Structure 1
Amino acid sequence: MTTGAIEHITFRNSDMYWDIAADLHFPPDFDASKSYPAIVAAHPIGSCKEQTAGSVYAPALAEAGHVVIAFDASFQGASGGVPRFLEDPSQRIQDFSRVVDHLVTLPYVDEDRIGVLGVCGGGGYTLAAAKTEKRFNAVVSITGVNFGRMQRDLARQNGGVRQALEGIAQQRTAEARGTESAVNGFLPETAEAAKQTGDIDIIEAFDYYRTHRGRAENGCVLFEAAHGTTALGWDAFHLADELLDQPLLIVVGDRQGAFGAYRDGHEIYERAASADKQLLELGNVSHYDLYDRPNGAGEALKRVVPFFAEKL
């Protein structure tokens, strides 16, 4: 198999009624009779496997000698599950174990050398999943966001968490009575509207998701409305001081925006039980620089690649 080879796959586990879609990225000169370390790569919220985790980090880690699986979350991308665009932390966490279940059936994957990497909300989910999924032997969060904390912060800016929960309850009742499912867009409609927010994360999110820079068919940044209560009551970092104990690398940029990755990165670094933990703070780097820019993702990979090489 040549450098850059990718296999598009779907699989289903015994606890699922839908398929997970994923891309397997293979190392140069891959030989299926050999054994390789593997890495699970998780995309951001509202994103898909063809974006940052699967388009930037997975190829680089495969080039470094790993089998990398970049997957679409259940209910999103090319994976199955309804309602579509559901962002349920409990399902997102289960997806990691479902992906590992598939990896350990592959004869060329060394089950004792499996790592995990996630970007943005995928980074927060990665940290949460690693608390209980101990088949992960090394953990990397790239500009990771605690999605529950972010949702509560956004709700407080728009009337409060209680009001948000009541709105979800009303929508769920309406849908139970036959109303069409409601889907909310996260981004402003135009680049100008994004600029008017004055927030670097929103401005650069529009640039990444809505232009040729990062646009992908399934990177919709849409969220189903009637099942958002789980996220509002969820905390990615709960019990991290007891359960998150694997070797850990946290990567953040110091240009801070509304998503709060800088704050979350410092918090989880302090709270994690890991005896072996590293915090890489990149100067003059934004949240979306860490998606695909040389000064962000490029610099991050200079630490991520050797980290996995050492820990796996």
Structure 2
Amino acid sequence: MTSSTIKNVTYKNLGWDSAADLYLPPNFDESRKYPAIVSTHPIGSCKEQTSGNIYASALAREGFVVIAFDASFQGASGGSPRFIEDPAIRVSDIRFAIDYVVTLPYVDAERIGAIGVCGGGAYTIHAAMTDHRIKALASITGVNFGRLIREGFSNFDPVGALQAMGKQRTAEAQGAERNVINYLPASVEEGRKNGITDIDVLEATDYYKTPRGQKPHGATSGLFSFNSAAVAWDAFHHAEVLLTQPLMVVIGDKPGGFGAYRDGWEIYGRAASKTKHIVVAEGWSHYDLYDQPEPVALALSRIAPFFKENL
């Protein structure tokens, strides 16, 4: 065969099952041992968007076994209540994905890599600090969700946001309906009508709310009352000491409100990794790196050799 094969799999997480797509290389031979890569999707996304259909499929074609999974409480994975975005659990999901792939007879447990897009890129960075089974990692336009929720997502009033989240969680515990927020407007036109000019919000809407990237499980939703878990979290905490594996950071040079450009330079500077690279896609934005052929090809032209050299 000349293209990768996708297998739908499930495996145990904490108290529920995780759903994932396993991308197998062309001419896959179960008797061989392959390096494996865990691919983590953005916030409000799912395994069928960018982490799977773009990056996992491309890396599988380069000879890697790649697993793209749905976060707990999201997509086709289990967990209740739905739409929790808890960074600690998102990082734990990566560890459980590794637990699964190292049981596969055709995966070399000593050659495990990790890649993530947007929020998934920063979760991947944090996971690598605390799980050194990850031997090399790449962050694609990675966003530190803790910083973002303390800043733009809380209107730069994190304490006020925490107070509102606490009140809402109490109300829900007492029987009120869950407050599931949508991170994006319904359309680009609606966003512009409401005065939104930020490139990241508008381009995210163009990706998630149109046939370009829309998928049934790509809900772009978050449970407001549980977002408090992210407010005091920092994806890059202890990177100067614990992030020692080879690292590649890919960012576009058209910065937007989600902050991938600044976060990319920050983690590149702070990481203790002796081998680290930053790739700046000139003239491209955060969401261009999700699926646009030219910047994605640029990213992959660096990422694939990086993983081949370090796994």
Shorter-chain TM-score: what band?
A: over 0.9
User: 1:170 and 2:159 equivalent?
Assistant: no
The answer (yes or no) to whether the contact 1:285–1:295 under 8 Å persists in 2 is no
SS at match of 2:134: coil
Aligned-residue offset at 1:18:
0.5
Measured in 1, the distance between the counterparts of 2:299 and 2:285 equals 12
State, as a whole percentage, how many aligned pairs show the same letter: 54
Aligned with 1:55: secondary structure?
helix
Paired position in structure 2 for 1:79 = 77
Deviation at 1:193, TM superposition (A): 2.6
- Equivalences for residues 4-153 of structure 1 within 5 A: 4-13=4-13, 16-153=14-151
Matches of 2:8 and 2:230 in 1, distance apart? 30
Aligned-partner SS, 1:137: strand
Distance 1:115 1:90, change over 3 A: same
Secondary structure (helix, strand or coil) at the match of 1:236 reads coil
Q: Per-residue CA shift, 1:211-269, capped at 9, x if unaligned?
A: 11100000010001111111011000000000011000000000010000000000000
The 8 Å contact of residues 186 and 209 in structure 2, kept in 1 or not, is answered as: no
Q: Which residue of 2 aligns with 1:206?
A: 205
Query: Does structure 1 retain, via aligned residues, the 8 Å contact 2:85–2:223?
Result: yes
Instruction: Spell out, residue by residue over 1:89-124, the C-alpha distance to the aligned partner (whole angstroms, 9 max, x if none).
Output: 010011111111111110000001110000000001
Equivalent-residue separation in structure 2 for 1:274 and 1:289 (angstroms):
27
Q: What runs of 5+ residues in structure 1 fail to find an aligned partner?
A: none
1:275 partner letter: K
Maintained 8 Å contact 1:151/1:231: yes
DSSP 3-state at the match of 2:217: coil
- How many Å separate the matches in 2 of 1:241 and 1:97? 21
Flag the 1:156–1:21 CA change in 2: closer, same or farther, 3 A.
closer
Q: How many residues align structurally?
A: 309
Match of 2:191 in 1: 194
Q: Which moved further from structure 2: 184-193 or 112-121?
A: 184-193
1:2 offset after TM fit, Å?
6.0
Q: Deviations over 1:129-185 (max 9, x none)?
A: 100110000000000000000001125526x11110000000111011111211001
1:237 aligns with 2:239: no
The match for 1:250 is: 249
- Match for residue 182 of structure 2? 185
Q: What CA RMSD, in Å, does the superposition of the two structures yield over aligned residues? A: 1.1
SS of 1:203's partner is helix
TM-score by length of 1: 0.97
1:190–1:57 distance in 2 versus 1, CA, 3 Å: same
Change (3 A) 1:238 1:87: same
For 1:77, give the aligned amino acid.
Answer: G
**CA–CA separation in structure 2 for the residues paired with 1:56 and 1:78:** 19
Deviating 4+ runs (over 6 angstroms): none
Q: Give a deviation string over 1:15-63, Cα, whole Å, max 9, x none.
A: x110000000000110111100000000000000000010100111000
Distance change in 2, residues 1:37/1:161 (3 Å): same
In structure 2, list runs of 5 or more residues that go unmatched.
Answer: none
Structure 2 SS opposite 1:226:
helix
Are the aligned partners of 1:292 and 1:298 in contact in 2 as well (CA < 8 Å)?
A: no
Tell me if the contact between 2:51 and 2:116 (Cα under 8 Å) persists in the aligned partners.
Answer: yes
Alignment partner of 1:222 is 2:207: no
Between the aligned partners of 1:155 and 1:3, the Cα distance in structure 2 is 40
